[in-house]
Amino acid sequence: MPDIVLATLNAKYIHAAFGLRYLLANLGDLQPRATIAEFDINQRPLEIVESLLALNPKLIGFGVYIWNTTQTTEIVALLKKIQPDLIIVLGGPEVSFEIDQQEIVRLADHVVTGEGDLKFAEVCRARLVTGESLPRIIAAELPKLDALALPYELYTEADIAHRVLYVEASRGCPFTCEFCLSSLDTPVRAVPTDAFLASLDRLIERGARQFKFVDRTFNLNLNTSRAILEFFLARWRDGMFVHFEMVPDRLPDALREVIARFPPGALQFEVGIQSFDEATSRNISRRQNVTKIEENFRYLRDHTGVHVHADLIVGLPGEDVESFARGFDRLVSMRPQEIQVGILKRLRGTPIVRHDAEWQMVYSPMPPYEILSNRLIDFRAMQRLRRFARYWDLLANSGNFVDSVPLLWANDQSPFWRFLAFSDWLHSRLRRTHQIALATLAESLFNFLVENGASRECVVESFDRDWLRLGRKEELTFLAKDRAERAPGVKSSAAPKRQSRHLVAN
């Protein structure tokens, strides 16, 4: 039985807990006395408690994040009721700031704030080996990345076969965007490249094919980012897929040349635009060259097979609905395969709170602390935008309707205002934003398009192409009377399903 259990609740099973593996890798001589126990947020807290206590640990370390803090608080409370002498140690971004306001902190024995890769091992050694007394709040010094043991050997065969593998070549961010915790994490620090790539090489030899880089600014260092891309090209296998988060206005020719050599759908770039409004960008201390961003988008869409996932944020101080609409339409014209419309969150510790009074920022007190209203967008309008974001994800980002959704804004209409009208219409009929069958979405979109003047023949043809692309065998019953001849077959792709659906929409 392990003395130390490293535990967390992932958002989904497919997400492997990267932080726990770093902690385990750096436990030193305590590693044989430790194990990882991963759960997900859909599991019942009492059942998780039962599983943890069955391991008979002396100490449990919990990774606490914005998506699991409510459930983890309940679990810690139950553990302390059942076994009061069990040592509970917390860590993670959710408990690294504003700690005096949190019930979970009151319940725990110790909280390690900051990057706890090395500090957690010190806490375990003090409590289980030397018997030293420790304070409740323990601030971790920023570790030197060349002093850390890398965690990649701890990915199991099941992880490699069924889960997203998180990797990192650097930590930190040079930018100061006030809504983001990375703005507090400066300077950027690099993992030693040779050791990092050697670890990835071993993962590939073990069968790993999908990698998600958690670096906030992967393309900041040209030499390192090019070396990593060349590494993957040299070891390319069918089914490989690599995700990077990119600085949107930094794509020099030396990177372009390498990127263009990857197969279609092999790379995904997450590109944080957040806002096109200059005044809003100044309010949140965000710097970006919009002209350069548009140029880079054109290159990626016209000359590479990169899947571009772009982000905008609703609710930033200074941005009203009309301003957001202009930015959304501008981004649609740049043709990313996905546009993630995020709702502003007040992450603990971020300087976005300095705008609360001036812009009347009102946030939910419950995780994930999303904005409810501000001076320019009242609660009712914010709810409309929240539904807009959800329906956009279901219909546009999913890749299920790449031919049909753009019919909403045919004839040079505004994508934002047309999709908002559809979003309002859809919600008025369904009264929900979750658990909506694909066929229901299809019929709803079809009916809205036809009722609002789209050519029925054109709409039928677009749905046929989309349905064929999805490989769906069942018929769309609402089209039974006027089924058009199906479109030619669509080539398959080795990219993950969601990304591969977009490949024909370039």
Secondary structure of 453-464 as H, E, C letters: CCCHHHHHHHHH
Provide the H-helix boundaries in 399-455: 415-430, 438-451
Binned at pLDDT 50, 70 and 90, residue 487 comes out as very low
Its pTM surpasses 0.75: yes
Give the integer Cα–Cα distance in Å for 484 and 430: 28
Binned at pLDDT 50, 70 and 90, residue 176 comes out as confident
Q: What pLDDT, on the 0 to 100 scale, is given for residue 181?
A: 85
Residue 356 to residues 351, 353, 442, 451, Cα–Cα distance (Å): 10, 5, 41, 43
Q: What angle (nearest 5°) sits at the alpha carbon of residue 161, between those of residues 160 and 164? A: 60
Q: Is the pLDDT of residue 484 over 60?
A: no
**C-beta of residue 300 within 8 angstroms of C-beta of residue 263:** no
* Lookup result for tokens 């201390």: 285
Q: Is the pLDDT of residue 448 over 70?
A: yes
Q: Is the pLDDT of residue 489 over 50?
A: no
Element (H, E) at 307: strand 307-314
Q: What pLDDT, on the 0 to 100 scale, is given for residue 204?
A: 97
Q: What pLDDT, on the 0 to 100 scale, is given for residue 476?
A: 82
CATH number for the domain running over 164-377: 3.80.30.20
Report the C-alpha dihedral over residues 299, 300, 304, 307, rounded to 10 degrees: -170
Residue pLDDT, tens place only, 111-141: 999 999 999 999 999 999 999 999 999 999 9
Binned at pLDDT 50, 70 and 90, residue 483 comes out as low
Q: What are phi and psi of 342, to 5 degrees?
A: -95, 150
Residue pLDDT, tens place only, 383-393: 999 999 999 99
Q: What pLDDT, on the 0 to 100 scale, is given for residue 492?
A: 45
Instruction: Output the six-digit token pair for 499.
Output: 């990304």
Average pLDDT score over residue span 348-363 = 96
Average pLDDT score over residue span 456-484 = 82
Ranges of each domain in the chain = 4-143, 164-377, 444-505
Residue pLDDT, tens place only, 198-228: 999 999 999 999 999 999 989 989 999 999 9
Average pLDDT score over residue span 388-405 = 97
CATH fold match for the domains 4-143 and 164-377: no
Q: Is the pLDDT of residue 441 over 90?
A: yes
**C-beta of residue 109 within 8 angstroms of C-beta of residue 87:** yes
Q: What pLDDT, on the 0 to 100 scale, is given for residue 186?
A: 64
CATH number for the domain running over 4-143: 3.40.50.280
Cα–chain-centroid distance for residue 387? 19
Give the integer Cα–Cα distance in Å for 210 and 224: 20
Instruction: Output the CA torsion sign for 284, 418, 391, 494.
Output: negative
Print burial letters for 98-113: b (CB count within 10 Å at least 16), e (below 16).
ebeebebbebbbbbbb
- Around Cβ 346, how many Cβ atoms within 10 Å? 20
Average pLDDT score over residue span 160-174 = 94
Instruction: Output the CA torsion sign for 260, 262, 264, 268.
Output: negative
Average pLDDT score over residue span 327-350 = 97
| Mean pLDDT, all residues of the chain | 93
Q: Is the pLDDT of residue 429 over 50?
A: yes
Average pLDDT score over residue span 229-254 = 94
Q: What are phi and psi of 355, to 5 degrees?
A: -95, 0
Of 83-87, 170-174, 350-354, 421-425, give the lowest mean pLDDT range: 170-174
Q: What pLDDT, on the 0 to 100 scale, is given for residue 494?
A: 55
Binned at pLDDT 50, 70 and 90, residue 463 comes out as very high
Q: Is the pLDDT of residue 468 over 90?
A: no
Instruction: Output the six-digit token pair for 337.
Output: 């395969």
CA nearest neighbour of 370 among 387, 347, 394 = 347
Average pLDDT score over residue span 38-46 = 97
**C-beta of residue 208 within 8 angstroms of C-beta of residue 255:** no
Bridge partners for 167 per DSSP? 213
Residue 501 to residues 105, 224, 312, 413, 490, Cα–Cα distance (Å): 44, 31, 22, 25, 10
Q: What pLDDT, on the 0 to 100 scale, is given for residue 496?
A: 72
In the three-class reduction of DSSP (H, G, I as helix; E, B as strand; rest coil), residue 422 is classed as: helix
